[in-house]
Homo-oligomer: A and B are copies of this chain.
Amino acid sequence: MKKLPLSYEDLWIQRWTSPFSRQSSFGVRHGLGHDCAVLSSFSKNLDLVLKTDAVVEGIHFTHSTPAALAGRKALARALSDLAAAGATPRAALVTAGCPNLRSAARLRQAYRGLSLLAKKFHLPIVGGETVRTRQLLLSISLLGTVPRGLSPNRAGAKPGHLLFVTGKLGGSWPRRHLTFTPRIAEGQWLVRNKFPSAMLDLSDGLGADLPRLARASRIGFRIHPKQLPLAPGTNLKLAFTRGEDYELLFSVPPKLIPALLRRWPFSTPLTPIGSCLPARQGYHTGRLPLRGYDHLR
Contact = CB atoms under 8 A, between A and B. Distances in A.
A266 to B, nearest CB: 26
A246 interface: no
A130 B28 contact: no
A115 B12 contact: no
A59 to B, nearest CB: 6
Contacts of A53: 129
B128 A17 contact: yes
A28 B91 contact: yes
A19 B112 contact: yes
Nearest to A68: B19
Contact of A31 (B12, B27, B124, B139): B124
Interface in A57-100: 59, 90-91, 93-97
Chain copies in the assembled complex: 2
A144 to B, nearest CB: 11
A111 B59 contact: no
Contact of A96 (B16, B37, B55): B16
Nearest to A142: B141
A51 B18 CA distance: 24
Given A21-B115, A52-B95, A111-B19, A131 B12 contact: no
Interface stretch (A41-49, A177-185, A206-214, A270-278): A41-49
Contact of A130 (B19, B25, B141, B296): B296
Contacts of A37: 91, 93, 126-127
B133 A137 contact: yes
Interface of A: 9, 12-13, 15-21, 25, 27-28, 31-32, 34, 36-37, 39, 42-43, 46, 48, 50-56, 59, 90-91, 93-97, 104, 107-108, 111-112, 114-115, 118-119, 124-135, 137, 139, 141, 143, 145, 295-296
